[in-house]
């Protein structure tokens, strides 16, 4: 049986990115912060491209991707 795979996009919202930038902005200069956000968004896209089974192997579900990616950032 063929399963239809929906393409889900789990982009981080601009508000979330703004809040993150405000929270950790004093630790980084603007270039480092921009690079960090770009890396995190790229990781969100990479994980979002995985199947649900691959995500399950990481111990997460699709709706947990953004929190999973940003977890290390806010855990200082």
pLDDT tens-place string over residues 4-22: 545 444 566 777 777 777 7
The pLDDT assigned to 55 comes to: 95
- Domain borders along the chain are 27-74
**CB proximity list for 17: less than 8 A, separation 6 or greater:** 37, 41
The pLDDT assigned to 44 comes to: 93
Task: Specify whether the CB–CB gap between 44 and 66 falls below 8 A.
Answer: yes
For the segment 55-67, what is each residue's pLDDT rounded down to a tens digit? 999 999 999 998 8
User: pTM here?
Assistant: 0.57
């Amino acid at each position: 049986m063929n399963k239809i795979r929906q393409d889900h996009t789990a982009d981080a919202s601009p508000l979330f990115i703004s809040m993150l930038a405000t929270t950790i902005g004093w630790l980084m200069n603007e270039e480092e912060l921009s690079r960090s956000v770009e890396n995190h968004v790229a990781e969100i896209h990479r994980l979002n491209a995985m199947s649900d089974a691959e995500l399950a192997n990481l111990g997460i579900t699709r709706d947990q991707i953004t929190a999973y990616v940003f977890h290390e950032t806010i855990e200082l």
